[in-house]
Structures are given as structure tokens and as C-alpha cells.
Structure 1
Amino acid sequence: MSSARPFSILVIDDDKAMRQSVAELLEAAGWQVTAAARAAAGLERLAELQPDVILSDVRMPGMSGLDLLAALEPAAPPLVLISAHGDIPMAVKAMQDGAYSFVEKPYEPRRLLAILRHAAEQHRMQQSNARLKARLFALSGLDRVLLGQSAPVVQLRQDILDLADTGTTVLIEGETGTGKELVARALHDLGPNADAPFLALNCAALSPATFEAEMFGTDGGPGGRLLAASGGTLFLDEVCSCPLEVQAKLLRVIEDKQILPAGGQLPVPVSFRVVSATNEDVELAVQENRLRKDLLFRLNTMVLTLPPLRQRRDDLMLLAAHFLEEFARLYETAVPDISQDDLTALLAHDWPGNVRELRSVCERRVLAARRGGGTMAEAIRMDQPLDDVPDTLREAVAAFERELIGKAVKAHEGRMDAAAEALGIGRRTLNEKIVKLGLDKDALL
């Protein structure tokens, strides 16, 4: 057996002789066997037993094997069905619905054991990968910058986990302060080459004159930064600001997977995952001849878009509380309470610097609290004047609603049904809010 820990199985069959026969076969092969005469009874014990695989008859009184298949959770152990009455259509349907395999009675012992062993090995591998991802997820820092329960953030975290082990090129789009480099590092840390180098290049600072010597190295001299990063991840930050001459050289390296050291005659192979980031509109950059279209096609196999903080205001309080606690611990002081005035200031601000700005504001708030004073409004005012902060939470919410409704009406060119759908409210509710907030629909268009 490939594992030091014996495989475990739940055998479900209403035929007592068949249950005993299968159990004896599996126990002789070193398996831990639990048997049940009814599918419902086996389903009830599934959480307790946590078997590596389930073997179930198809036709049984009460819940059938197909019913059991439909009742299993996505993370449940693989289900192998066995039946004396099976036919090809039933087997095909069972596989389409998620069964691992289908075996007809009378079964051939070695074939049955092989199918069950493969199913158990696959399940254990999936469990191991899930545990590893959970540990790496905690280490990656995603939960710090991408903390939140708003739908865009939940989806983004899942997308990062799904893409991490693919090795494909990823373009990260997002405004300043949304955490693009942290996401790039998470893709690296969660990937198969996490122990290899992560090389971050600020493309705006790359010089065509020194690029080859610095990145490719020199013949007989230093090997260059790209060679040192081989096997890991190359992160191209601010890629739209990269000089065109450098873009051509980067494209050649990405396509050819080799570099030619300055003064050298023979190319040197390199291999790395390429992740890039920008806070610009890449299509506009291509149109303005600031970004090569062929380079963009190499970089945007998959695209991750980081939402700005103003589009995830439901997460504001959670993020603020998190950062306040973090800095209170760092500066060894009590966590300042968030008052209604603080909440009003948080909601009224547009957060052009996104999560990075909020983090700085919370740090200033904690430092002020150490001196016995301070408010969120004062901490925000360090970045820009805050003369128009509403006096109450109700005014702040109203200002926020005016902004959202105005943008939706304008985006949908006055089509109120479409605007209401985009806002997630009914048409009648939208009309009532427009009246209540004193909005002029014609002025918005």
C-alpha cells in the first residue's frame, strides 16, 4: 500500500452476504472497513468515519446508491457504485453525476481493489493539497490586504488560489494601493515553486542603456538578475510604464526562454513564471503606443482585477478594525474605539489610495490615541482637506447613495430598469430614493 496509514472504506449494501464478502476481501488487503445495510445510515455516519472512499450498492430499499450520490457534499469521499442490475446508461449517468467509478456484480476482486485504491489515493491527495493551500493562504498575506466578505473580494481570493498552481502568466489590474504586488507574491507563494526566487521589477525605472548588463549579465562576469530568478517568478510592476526598447527585450526573453549575456556568444536558458501589474488601462496604453500589443498578448493569459475600496464599502469597518488592532499591537497601546463620527468620516471619504491609504489612516489614528486624542476625520485630513464631511451617519449614507445612483443612471443612459437592476434594488425603490435624495435625473444625463 502506498500510504503508511491504512485506507478506510465505508461499504453500503443491503445484501448481508455481499457486505461480508467485500469486507473480508478488503480487510485481507489491509483496509479498515465499516459496513452499513442502508445508505441513509451510512450517510449519517460519514462525518464521524471520514472514510477515504465509499463503496455502495445501487438498488437498495429507501435511499438508493444514486440518491446517496446526489446527497453527498462536494468535498465528500469518492463514491464507487456496484450493482448486479447495472447497465451502460446507468453507469454513464452515475459518472456524469460525480461517481468515481461503476462496477458490475459479480465483480473481479483485483479490479475492484485497484479502483478503490486509486479512488482513495486521489481523495487523500486532494485533502493534502487543501491543507497545504490553507496553510500557505495564511502565510501569504492575502487575508490582510484582501480581508473582507464583499462578493468581489471573496471571488478574488478564490481566483488567486485557483491560479496559483497553474504556472500561467497573470496580469493584475487595479488602482494604486489595492495590493497588486501582494497578490503577485501570493501567486508565487501558493504555487509549486514557492521556494524559488521572486524577482520584482519596477518597469518604470528600467533603463534601456543598462538593462541587458543588469538583467542578462555579462560574459565571464555576473550572471544577471534574470538568471538568478530562473525557476521562480518574474513580477513586472507598472508594465505600461516600461520603455518600449526594454519591452522588446523582455518579450524576446519571455518567448525564447533564454538570455544572451552582454558580450557573450551562447544563449543561456531561463525559466520563470511571469506576473505583471498595472494601474492603467492596457488597451489605451496599446492605442497610445506605450505598450506593445504582442507583449500584452504574452502577459494577459489570465487577468485578475482588484476592486477599489470605494466599491467594497461593506468591508470598510472590518478593514479599519483589523488595521487598528494591528497597529495598536505594534505600538503597544489600546485599540481606539470607532465612534459614530469616525464611521461618518470613513463612509464619506472616497479612498483614492485604497487599502494602502486606509492602513496609513489607521496607523495615524493609533498614534494619536497614544497621545490621548485623535479622530478618524483628523487622520484622514492628513491626506486631503475634509471640509465637506457630513455631520451625521445618515448624511454620509445619503451622500454615498446619491453618488451610486447617479453613476448607475448615467451608465445606463437613463434606463431606470437597467439602473435598478445594476444597483440590486427594485424600480419602485429606485424612484423613491431619487425623490427622497432630491436627485434630478435629467441633470445626471
Structure 2
Amino acid sequence: MSEEQQHSILIVDDDKAMRQSLIDLMEAAGWRVEAVSRANHVLDRLAEFQPDAILSDVRMPGMSGLDLLASLDKSISPPLVLISAHGDIPMAVQAIQDGAYSFVEKPCEPRRLLTIMRNAAEQYRMRQTNARLKQRLMHLSGLDRRLLGQTDEINLLRRDVIDLADSTASVLVQGETGTGKELVARALHDLGPDADGPFLALNCAVLSPETFEAEMFGIKGGKDGRLLAASGGTLFLDEICSCPLPVQAQLLRVIENKRILPVGANVPIPVRFRVISASNEDMQKAVAESRLRQDLLFRINTLVLTLPTLRQRRDDLALLMTHFLSDYARIYETAVPELSPDDLAAMMTHDWPGNVRELRSVAERRVLAARRGSATMMQMIQSDLMLEGIPSTLREAVAAFERELIGKAIRDQEGRMDATAEALGIGRRTLNEKIVKLGLDKDALL
């Protein structure tokens, strides 16, 4: 029997000989066993040992078995079986009414006791499974709110997320900027078997080969690395094609070996997490251009999810815009602007290169403009594109456009450079280079 299938029991008895006899019986039957001599030690052991059932004597110094029963939260605690040489029918009936799973008299027949304890443990595990299923259904109902829409494309995406969530295989999420790749990654995590574990999102574009080992693997005798903190959950690798090649090699070794070696250590530490990667690029092109290792691609694309663009789901535009307008109206404490036929027409004719992220930004501007008077949806859509004094040469025009676009993104993200790079769909390193090249002053922009 594997460790996950093996039942566990916490035995409570002040009689040393009886306690050892019960330990021997349960261990011989294949159970994991812990034992304490006093009932007031039980609560301290529950969280750490997490038994499937408790077997407790009734009469003990200090806290009795009946007192222990009264102290347990029946909704979350494992079932309690009481055992006593001084039992009587009224006591047994009262104990069952108070929430005990069963009441057994000493001396008890070993096979009968084992049957009772096995049934109690299996009932508890079934209860835990049902609780997890209910929690998963709650997450599932939330999926409709996170991946909002009614078109076939978004319905198919939701079904794919549900189908792939239970798997532990690596997933590659592909899609244009603003289509919700991290949103999908978090949904896969929240609906998966490790939903209670951590979700670590790494922007691969900003990972430095010089500091990667210390930051991600940790330092012996120092702070644990971020990958160790992610163990038992999900590792989300965003902008994987922008990851420096030396870092790609290190990530590949971790994914393959499931071990990390802290700086200065000699013994590797095992880690376990599901890998979800994301990119808005053509992966094969990135491999052909030697920007992405092919062996790493083979490790991260076991399963592939391709997210639809907003252009592919135009019938969702009105629903999404109404949703975002309501959200921002609540945030800014103002009335929800109504969508006119002209507004809807402007939305339907726009290509939405920034997808849902761009739509959300337009909705926020529309709400803010409504507070100052009136404005049309077309004006809000075009506000990003209206540049004054367009230069005469193409090079100068491109530079002016980039300067305006990057400056706006820095202001929108309140100077948070990682968020600015993500909003622009470029790597942090590329953003830094462009800021220097274009002569932008971040402080002046803010």
C-alpha cells in the first residue's frame, strides 16, 4: 500500500501497556500510528500528523475521552472512536449522539476494532474528497467570471481548461498580448490537484543569468530559493521566448531532474511543481532563431492551449465592455455609462490589437471621461493613437510613436516597470533599452 493510500491513526490512552498493544495491532494492519498518553495533547498533534481517525480511551487523568469529543470541531476533525472498560449503554448512546463515530468496550475483538477504524478512516477520506469537489465546483463557477464570454471560442477555452486542469503534464499557453494567458494559467492551477499549493509566476524576460541561481535555488545557510517555495504548486514561466539562454539551460535541468542545488550546497533538494509556460510568439520561429532551446520547448509543450483573440470573438465585445464599465464605475463611484449604437459600431470596427487588456483600458477611460462630461467610444479607442506633430520621416515617426506609447504605459502602470513591460508585450530588458534609446525620463513622466 502506498503512503498516500495508507490510513493513519492517533491513539490516546494513559495505560502504557494498552497503548502499546493498540499501536502493535494497528501497525501490523499497515496503519501509520502516533500515540499520546493524555487527551489534552491531541489538538497539538492533529495539525501536524493529520490522522484519518482517532481512537481514544474514555477515562484518563485530566481531560477525558468525552471531554476530547466535546472539544473537537466535528465539521473538520477526523472521526473519534471511544474505547473503554467501564462503558455502559447510556454512556455509549450519549457519546454517539454527541458525535463519536463508535463506542467499543474493552476487551475488544481485534478484527472488529480494525473494521470499525477502517470504516471510520474511509468515511473521513470520502468526506475530504467531497469537500475538495465542492471547492472545485466553486472555482468552476468562478471560471465563467474570469473567462467571461458566450462565444464558441471562449466556451471551448473554458472546457479545455477544465479538461486539462486535473493533469500534471506541462502546459504551453499561446496567445497574443492581452488575451489572458496568466489568467488561464491561474485557472489551471486553481482547478488542479495542487490548488492549495503556491502559484509562482516568473517573467522570464527579466531573469538574470548572474543572479538566477542565488534567487531561484537559494543559498546554503541563507534564504530559501523561490523555486523551493513553489514546490507542491505551479511554476508559471511567462514570456518564455524572452528567457536568456543560460537561464533556459538551468530551467531545463530543474524541469528534467526535479531537483535544485542551492549555492554552496553539495546535496540537491527535490522539488515538485507543474510547469505552465506562456508566449505570444511563434515558438518554432524562436527555436529557428536560436532564441529558444528546442529541448526546453519539448519539455514545456506536452499540452498546448491557444487563446482566441478578441477579433475572433467579436460577439463578446458588448458583454465584456459592459462588465468592465460596471467594474470601473463602481471603483470610481459614478454611474455606468450607457453604450450607444455608435459606441457599439466603433467597438465592432476596431481590431483590438491589445485584446481584452486594451478593451479594459478603453472602458476605464470611458468611465473617467463620463465623469468630466461626455465622450464617445470612438474617441476613447483613438486616444492612444492620436499623436501630435507627427514627424516627416518614418524613423522619426516610429520613434515618436514608441515614445508616446511607452510613456503612456509607464504612467498607466504608475512606474512599475515589470507591469509596464507586460502591458507593452515586450521584455523588461527590451523596455530598458528603448527607454535609454528614446531618451525617456521616467520620473518626469510620473
Band of TM-score, shorter chain: 0.5 to 0.7
Q: Output aligned runs, 1:364-443, within 5 Å.
A: 364-385=365-386
Tell whether 2:333 aligns with 1:339: no
Instruction: Count matched residues.
Output: 265
| 1:171 and 1:302 in contact (8 A); partners too | yes
Amino acid at match of 1:184: A
- In the TM superposition, residue 168 of structure 1 has moved relative to its aligned partner by 1.6
1:376-423 CA-partner distances (Å, limit 9, x unpaired): 11111122249xxxxxxxxxxxxxxxxxxxxxxxxxxxxxxxxxxxxx
| 1:350 alignment partner, SS class | coil
Amino acid at match of 1:272: F
- Cα separation, 2, equivalents of 1:131 and 1:319: 28
The aligned residue for residue 330 of structure 1 is: 331
| 1:236 alignment partner, SS class | strand
- In the TM superposition, residue 190 of structure 1 has moved relative to its aligned partner by 1.3
- In the TM superposition, residue 128 of structure 1 has moved relative to its aligned partner by 6.8
- Cα separation, 2, equivalents of 1:161 and 1:239: 24
Tell whether 2:127 aligns with 1:133: no
Tell whether 2:170 aligns with 1:208: no
TM-score (norm. length: structure 2) = 0.57
1:167-200 CA-partner distances (Å, limit 9, x unpaired): 2210000000001011111111111222211111
| 1:233 alignment partner, SS class | strand
Amino acid at match of 1:132: Q
- Cα separation, 2, equivalents of 1:124 and 1:351: 47
Q: Output aligned runs, 1:224-243, within 5 Å.
A: 224-243=225-244
The aligned residue for residue 161 of structure 1 is: 162
- In the TM superposition, residue 129 of structure 1 has moved relative to its aligned partner by 6.6
The aligned residue for residue 315 of structure 1 is: 316
- Cα separation, 2, equivalents of 1:260 and 1:129: 34
The aligned residue for residue 294 of structure 2 is: 293
| 1:145 and 1:179 in contact (8 A); partners too | no
| 1:222 alignment partner, SS class | coil
- Cα separation, 2, equivalents of 1:144 and 1:375: 27
| 1:312 alignment partner, SS class | helix
| 2:247 alignment partner, SS class | helix
The aligned residue for residue 85 of structure 1 is: none
Amino acid at match of 2:378: A
1:249-280 CA-partner distances (Å, limit 9, x unpaired): 00000000001111111111111110000000
- Cα separation, 1, equivalents of 2:317 and 2:243: 34
1:273-295 CA-partner distances (Å, limit 9, x unpaired): 10000000001111111111111
Amino acid at match of 2:157: L
Q: Output aligned runs, 1:43-58, within 5 Å.
A: none
- In the TM superposition, residue 333 of structure 1 has moved relative to its aligned partner by 1.4
- In the TM superposition, residue 146 of structure 1 has moved relative to its aligned partner by 2.1
The aligned residue for residue 173 of structure 1 is: 174
- In the TM superposition, residue 138 of structure 1 has moved relative to its aligned partner by 3.8
| 1:145 and 1:355 in contact (8 A); partners too | no
Amino acid at match of 1:363: E
- In the TM superposition, residue 124 of structure 1 has moved relative to its aligned partner by 10
Q: Output aligned runs, 1:88-99, within 5 Å.
A: none
Tell whether 2:307 aligns with 1:306: yes
| 1:333 alignment partner, SS class | coil
- Cα separation, 1, equivalents of 2:224 and 2:144: 36
- Cα separation, 2, equivalents of 1:145 and 1:340: 27
Mark the CA change 1:180 to 1:290 in structure 2 (over 3 Å): closer, same or farther.
Answer: same
- In the TM superposition, residue 367 of structure 1 has moved relative to its aligned partner by 1.1
Amino acid at match of 1:290: R
| 2:275 alignment partner, SS class | strand
- In the TM superposition, residue 126 of structure 1 has moved relative to its aligned partner by 9.7
Amino acid at match of 1:137: L
- Cα separation, 1, equivalents of 2:348 and 2:275: 37
Q: CA RMSD in A?
A: 2.4
1:192-250 CA-partner distances (Å, limit 9, x unpaired): 22221111100010111110011001121111111111111100000001111110100
| 1:216 and 1:259 in contact (8 A); partners too | yes
| 1:171 and 1:275 in contact (8 A); partners too | yes
Amino acid at match of 2:149: G
Amino acid at match of 1:135: M
- Cα separation, 2, equivalents of 1:330 and 1:217: 40
The aligned residue for residue 192 of structure 1 is: 193
Q: Output aligned runs, 1:99-110, within 5 Å.
A: none
The aligned residue for residue 221 of structure 1 is: 222
Q: Which sits farther off after the overlay, 277-286 or 368-377?
A: 368-377
- In the TM superposition, residue 143 of structure 1 has moved relative to its aligned partner by 3.1
Amino acid at match of 1:376: M
1:76-127 CA-partner distances (Å, limit 9, x unpaired): xxxxxxxxxxxxxxxxxxxxxxxxxxxxxxxxxxxxxxxxxxxxxxx99998
| 1:179 and 1:355 in contact (8 A); partners too | yes
1:317-357 CA-partner distances (Å, limit 9, x unpaired): 11111111111122121111111110111011110000000
TM-score (norm. length: structure 1) = 0.57
- In the TM superposition, residue 375 of structure 1 has moved relative to its aligned partner by 1.4
The aligned residue for residue 266 of structure 1 is: 267
Amino acid at match of 1:335: V
- Cα separation, 2, equivalents of 1:341 and 1:271: 53
Amino acid at match of 2:355: N
- In the TM superposition, residue 133 of structure 1 has moved relative to its aligned partner by 2.9
Please, which runs of 5 or more residues in structure 1 have no aligned partner?
Answer: 1-122, 387-445
- Cα separation, 1, equivalents of 2:145 and 2:362: 16
- In the TM superposition, residue 147 of structure 1 has moved relative to its aligned partner by 1.0
| 1:232 and 1:272 in contact (8 A); partners too | yes
Identity across aligned pairs (percent)? 67
| 1:199 alignment partner, SS class | strand
Mark the CA change 1:245 to 1:328 in structure 2 (over 3 Å): closer, same or farther.
Answer: same
| 2:317 alignment partner, SS class | helix
- In the TM superposition, residue 372 of structure 1 has moved relative to its aligned partner by 2.4
Please, which runs of 5 or more residues in structure 2 have no aligned partner?
Answer: 1-125, 388-446
